[in-house]
Amino acid sequence: MIQALNLILLTSSELSELRVVLKQSLVDGAGKDLFDALYPSWCHCATAIISLCFLAQMYQLASTVIQALVEEDINVKFLVQLDKLIRLLETPTFAYLRLQLLEPGRYTWLLKTLYGLLMLLPQQSAAFKILRIR
């Protein structure tokens, strides 16, 4: 259920304003309140919470989630979800995130998070190749 809601949040044109509010989470009370409201539900799915953190630009939290995944059993279902997340990172929704990669000194937690995702993926997967090239 959360995976479906997350996909709708990330891809639906009707929710673009909601995504804009989430992007302002670090500087705006409304964005933080929205993030805080979604977090309890989203945290039941690792890829959903990582994508929510990406939307809210809370890269340090995303990195913490990825570090916690190392202790979990990584199964095929999770890897499929991770593959979908990597492909979503290539969509216009995350264009700002890709542009932030041009400033590695300013967005060190973003880089650490993406490298963490890279380390979880099988090297022969398409998602690994997409993320490595990025």
Q: Which whole-number Å values give the CA distances from 24 to 2, 21, 119, in the listed order?
A: 22, 5, 29
**pTM score of the predicted model:** 0.91
So what's the pLDDT on residue 70? 81
How does pLDDT run across 60-119, given as a tens digit for each residue?
999 999 999 887 778 888 899 999 999 999 999 999 999 999 999 999 999 999 999 999
* Eight-state DSSP code of residue 94: G
So what's the pLDDT on residue 27? 87
DSSP letters spanning 13-47: GGGHHHHHHHHTTTT-HHHHHHHHHHHHHHTTSHH
Better-predicted residue by pLDDT, 86 or 130: 86
| Greatest Cα pair distance in the chain | 42
Cα–Cα distance between 13 and 80 in angstroms, integer?
24
pLDDT at 36 over 90: yes
Domain definitions of the chain by residue range: 2-133
pLDDT at 123 over 80: yes
Please give the average per-residue pLDDT across 31-43, as a whole number.
94
Q: Alpha helix (H) ranges present in 74-125?
A: 76-88, 95-100, 108-120
Q: What is the C-alpha radius of gyration for the chain, rounded to an integer number of angstroms?
A: 14
Give, rounded to a whole angstrom, the gap between the first and last alpha carbons of the chain.
30
pLDDT at 56 over 80: yes
Please give the average per-residue pLDDT across 12-16, as a whole number.
94
